[in-house]
Structure 1
Amino acid sequence: MRARWACLAALASAATFDETEADYTVVVGAGRRDCYFQPMNKGIPFEIEYQVVDGGDLDIDFMIIGPGGQVLVDEKRQEEGLHEINGREKGHYQICFNNMFSRLTDKTVFFEVFTEDDYDEYDYDDDEYYDDYYDDDIPVAMKQKEKKGEWKKDLVEDEATEGMLKEKVDDMVRKLVKMKTNLIRTAQFQAILRAFESKDRNILEANLKRVNHWSTIHMVVMLVAAILQVCILRSFFSSKETAGGSKSMT
């Protein structure tokens, strides 16, 4: 019976495995420096990936500042980047985007923070581990047997299979944790692909605007040139008619 509750408890522990991913799209104004704070516990690594998806030459200055004020990453005029921080210090890490070198153009930046907490191996033989799952939901008949001490006999009889079940539970927990990690990674890659798609779409739209502007300018120049040519030709004919009229009068 306790082995059964151990299985449920192990599944619950796998469900609480803390691994988070967050992505944001922000606009850094021209001549501005924006910083965002990420709280982290000691010893927990995290990854930061960013890319400029719209604005100007698609470049920006990037910095990561530790809780103690030390500069961990400092990049100049980059389009994108990926950095892994070991998280040796507990506190708030600053993620800064600097667009002060651009006086006219805002920059749209996509960035993503991926954190992974340590996974604790629970002791399935610890009685305190089962308290939340065992004491509240166990049937009344089993509680009566527990008061009489008969549960010890049942536990001894079930001890042979409990070891095998514990190994299966451990293997199941590892697979569930790996599955959850893969799902989070998949969501992370999808967010990155969406950012690439947004970046490429913005580049295509900017190129389309440039083509349309140049086409409009060329069209106006051609119309002006055609009108000037017509005016010049008309002036030639009018000057000849004036010269012929003056000769006939003489």
Structure 2
Amino acid sequence: MVYRCWVFILLLGLIKRYSATELTFELPDSAKECFYEEVKKNTSCTLEFQVVTGGQYDVDISLEDPKGQVLYKQVKMQFDSHTFVAQTTGIYKVCFSNQFSTFSHKLVYMDFQVGDEMPLPGMGEHATVMTQLEASAQDIHKSLNTILDYQTHHRLREAQGRKRAEDLNERVLWWSIMETLAVIMIGIGQVFVLKNFFTEKKPFGYTQMK
């Protein structure tokens, strides 16, 4: 299955001020993909994923800490979000598995956020109360981040809807072709049957007597 029409989704990996991994990748059938992120102790993390296209829009996912302990695991999930606090410092592993599918490729979106977002420059070490202008800038900054998140999810839903529409359009096309061929074959058969009805049949032995 070709995903060239979904290339624009790959542009969703944005570089933010805090550590984060945001990307969209293709998960082949009977395959498993793992991603690694270094996390410090007592750091709050959020893992979010969604299957954009492919099969029944489901995938297996697991999250492991540096010691190999499973922190989060789901089977055949379409989308979900999990927040946790790292208990140890090290490399955390997130794995997506499509091994239960033997013919269906998947397109998966993942967003792994590590830590809290850093404040705007000049506001991190504020000794006094923020001015009205600084408070407004902070609110605008939060609103813009919210808009970015909404845009990402709207693009994912739009891509998913477009893929379903294209699949439906392809099925309708093939069904129409099959119906057209069936109508043509039935028409040809009716012509031959009617032709036999109006064809004069010579009596048996007529040729011999002549």
Query: Fold match, TM over 0.5?
Result: yes
Does the C-alpha gap of structure 1 residues 53 and 190 become closer, same or farther in structure 2, counting only changes over 3 Å? same
Give the deviation of 1:117 after TM superposition. Answer: 3.2
Q: Could you say which residue in structure 1 is the equivalent of 2:9?
A: none
Provide the C-alpha distance between the structure 1 equivalents of 2:93 and 2:168, rounded to a whole number of angstroms: 35
Letter in 1 for 2:202: T
Give the deviation of 1:230 after TM superposition. Answer: 1.3
Q: How does 1:182-221 map to 2 (within 5 A)?
A: 182-221=143-182
Give ranges in structure 2 of 5+ residues lacking alignment: 1-15
Provide the C-alpha distance between the structure 2 equivalents of 1:79 and 1:67, rounded to a whole number of angstroms: 26
Q: Could you say which residue in structure 1 is the equivalent of 2:110?
A: 111
Give the deviation of 1:179 after TM superposition. Answer: 4.3
TM-score (norm 1): 0.66
Decide whether the 8 Å contact of 2:18 with 2:118 is kept in 1.
Answer: no
Q: Could you say which residue in structure 1 is the equivalent of 2:24?
A: 25
Greater share of strand residues, 1 or 2? 2
Decide whether the 8 Å contact of 2:25 with 2:109 is kept in 1.
Answer: yes
Percent identity of paired positions between Structure 1 and Structure 2: 24
Tell me which of 108, 121, 141 is aligned to 1:180.
141
Q: Secondary structure at the match of 1:47?
A: strand
Q: How does 1:1-250 map to 2 (within 5 A)?
A: 18-117=17-116, 166-169=127-130, 176=137, 179-238=140-199, 240-243=200-203, 246=206
Does the C-alpha gap of structure 1 residues 65 and 19 become closer, same or farther in structure 2, counting only changes over 3 Å? same
Does the C-alpha gap of structure 1 residues 28 and 111 become closer, same or farther in structure 2, counting only changes over 3 Å? same
Does the C-alpha gap of structure 1 residues 86 and 205 become closer, same or farther in structure 2, counting only changes over 3 Å? same
Give the deviation of 1:218 after TM superposition. Answer: 1.2
Q: Secondary structure at the match of 2:164?
A: helix
Does the C-alpha gap of structure 1 residues 173 and 86 become closer, same or farther in structure 2, counting only changes over 3 Å? farther
User: Deviation digits for residues 188-212 of structure 1, max 9, x if unmatched?
Assistant: 2211211111111111111111111
Decide whether the 8 Å contact of 2:36 with 2:93 is kept in 1.
Answer: yes
Give the deviation of 1:177 after TM superposition. Answer: 5.0
Does the C-alpha gap of structure 1 residues 171 and 110 become closer, same or farther in structure 2, counting only changes over 3 Å? same
Does the C-alpha gap of structure 1 residues 170 and 119 become closer, same or farther in structure 2, counting only changes over 3 Å? farther
Provide the C-alpha distance between the structure 1 equivalents of 2:143 and 2:34, rounded to a whole number of angstroms: 30
Q: RMSD between aligned alpha carbons?
A: 3.0
Greater share of helix residues, 1 or 2? 1
Count of equivalent residues: 192
Does the C-alpha gap of structure 1 residues 178 and 216 become closer, same or farther in structure 2, counting only changes over 3 Å? same
TM-score (norm 2): 0.77
Give ranges in structure 1 of 5+ residues lacking alignment: 1-16, 125-165
Letter in 1 for 2:90: G
